[in-house]
Amino acid sequence: MILLKKALRVTQNDILNLWSELRFKICIFLIFLFTSIILEEVNHFAYRVGYKISPWLLPFIMNQRFMRVILFSLFLFLICEVPYSNSNQLFLLVRSGKISFFIGKVIYLFILSIVYTCIICLSSILIIIRHIDITMNWGKVLGTLTLTDAGADFNHSIKLNSNFILKFSPANVYLLSFSLCVLSFFTLGLFVYVFNIIISNRLIGNAVAAIIILFDFLLETDIVYQRLIYLSPLTWSNTSLLDLRKNVTVYPSLFYSICGYLTLILLSIFIIIACGKRYGIDKIAN
């Protein structure tokens, strides 16, 4: 219990520092900017046809490969210095102890992943606020753009999946997409954390994360064999590349995705704690 209290104190300190970080504010601005760009034509279509847009846009945004690489890259930019090096980290390490310090950082990464996903959701809602329709259905705009070619003249850039409209309720898909987003961001953060601790070189840790992001991007092209999706953790959060109907496609199942995330998360946490015991204070101080 004492260990957890000390870890939560470290987490609390990082959360309080987060709101004042310029890097965090830049990420928020860029998320809203790119979300507005990707939803511009959808807004235009809604205005021209006089339909309202339902707020269930997160799954479609996260299925757009250019948006995915942008969002993952911004998250990497936000957490690239984990386990961080600033004036009060050495003090926190000494006061809390190594194990509590590193567990606190893990908890912080998880909370940050939730906050980051919420910002994406909020941006998608605020961008369409003039045409929003609060409904538990997919709505006419998403339905029309998905099931017809009515949006061809508007060159809408958002990638819609007809399986969402035809097979699943919006609330279920939205909750699923939200959960997978949190897990993917958390996993990416832990990867950076692990490499930064083991190698003690932030450049290498960030380079590995960048390669993982690029791999996710390439899997939606013809450049990379798509069965490699099974080896791409970030791609498991793309609901259009999951077999949600059980053994209908060659894509990974939802069960595989969740189990894969949990396995990688638990393994990363184990490595962080094991390596954290031998982590030198000088590496925090420098």
Q: What is the pLDDT of residues 171-209, one digit of tens each?
A: 888 999 999 999 999 999 999 988 888 777 778 888 889
- Name the residue among 163, 133, 128, 152 with its Cα closest to residue 36: 128
Token pair of 173 as six digits: 């898909």
Residue 86 confidence class, pLDDT cut points 50, 70, 90:
low
DSSP state of 148: S
Decide if pLDDT at 221 tops 70. Answer: no
State phi, psi for 53 to the nearest 5 degrees. Answer: -110, 125
Model confidence at 285, pLDDT cuts 50, 70, 90, reads: very low
Give every CB contact of residue 225 below 8 A, 6+ residues apart in sequence. none
pLDDT for res 161? 62
Least confident of 65-79, 131-145, 219-233: 219-233
CA distance 27 to 15: 15
Tally of CB atoms within 10 A around 5:
10
Task: Look at residues 223, 197, 222 and name the one whose alpha carbon lies nearest to residue 208.
Answer: 197
Instruction: Tell me how far apart the alpha carbons of residues 128 and 10 are, in angstroms, rounded to a whole number.
Output: 37
Domain ranges of the chain: 2-279
Instruction: Say whether pLDDT at 132 is over 50.
Output: yes
Q: List Cβ neighbours of 259 (8 Å cut-off, separation of 6 or more).
A: none
Confidence of residue 128 (pLDDT cuts 50, 70, 90): confident
Mean pLDDT of 66-92: 81
CA of 204: how far to CAs of 156, 184, 191, 197, 199, in Å? 37, 20, 11, 11, 8
Return the DSSP state at 129: G
d(CA 155, CA 68): 19
Q: Which tokens sit at 91?
A: 């003090």
Specify the pLDDT at position 63: 84
What residues have CB less than 8 Å from 73, skipping those under 6 apart?
A: 210, 213
Q: What is the pLDDT of residues 229-268, one digit of tens each?
A: 888 899 999 888 888 766 666 788 889 999 999 999 999 9
Q: What is the pLDDT of residue 225?
A: 63
CA distance linking residue 215 with residue 223, whole number of Å: 10
